[in-house]
Amino acid sequence: MAKTLVSQSNLRSINVRESSALTTSYVSSDSFNVQGANQLQLLVSFTKGSSEGCRLKVEFSEDGENWYQESAVAMSDTGDTRDAIHRSAFRKVESSSNIVVSIPLSASFFRISAAAITVGTGTSLSIMATIANI
């Protein structure tokens, strides 16, 4: 995948994924250096085709080698205990759309993996990212 970096003031744009078909296996983007930025916006353009949709997995790293996946929290009550349960988060897109996903940053590197939910034809995905220090 091509890495395109355009600088405008403190805003940088990164071509994360060129428009291409999806498979049901996760394919990771190249990793990108986001040092000095505190905000990431993903500009996601998805065409559903005959698939059930797609999932995105966002990961962060401090060294570009050890990766940590974004998580989501669910609460669980068991007796006298209330647990906050962290699970790996996957962002699901179920229909053809152009969406923006805003994520605060505190890491040095990020990457995104994408997969189709089910096998289908006519499914494609492209992702641009903008990063800035706001």
Beta-bridge partner residues of 29: none
Instruction: Give CA 28 to chain center in angstroms.
Output: 10
Reduced to 3 states (helix: H, G, I; strand: E, B; else coil), residue 18 is: strand
In three-state secondary structure terms, 105 is: coil
Set out the domains of the chain in order of their start, with CATH numbers. Answer: 5-132 (2.60.120)
What spatial distance separates the first Cα and last Cα of the chain, rounded to whole Å? 28
CB of 112 closer than 8 Å to CB of 46: no
Beta carbons within 10 angstroms of residue 93's beta carbon: 18
List pLDDT tens digits, range 43-99: 999 999 999 999 999 999 999 999 999 999 999 998 889 999 999 999 999 999 999
- Separation CA 105–CA 84 (nearest Å): 22
Query: Quick one: tokens of 8?
Result: 């405008």
Say what the pLDDT of residue 8 is: 47
Predicted TM-score (pTM) of this structure: 0.85
Window from 3-7, 47-51, 128-132 with minimum mean pLDDT: 3-7
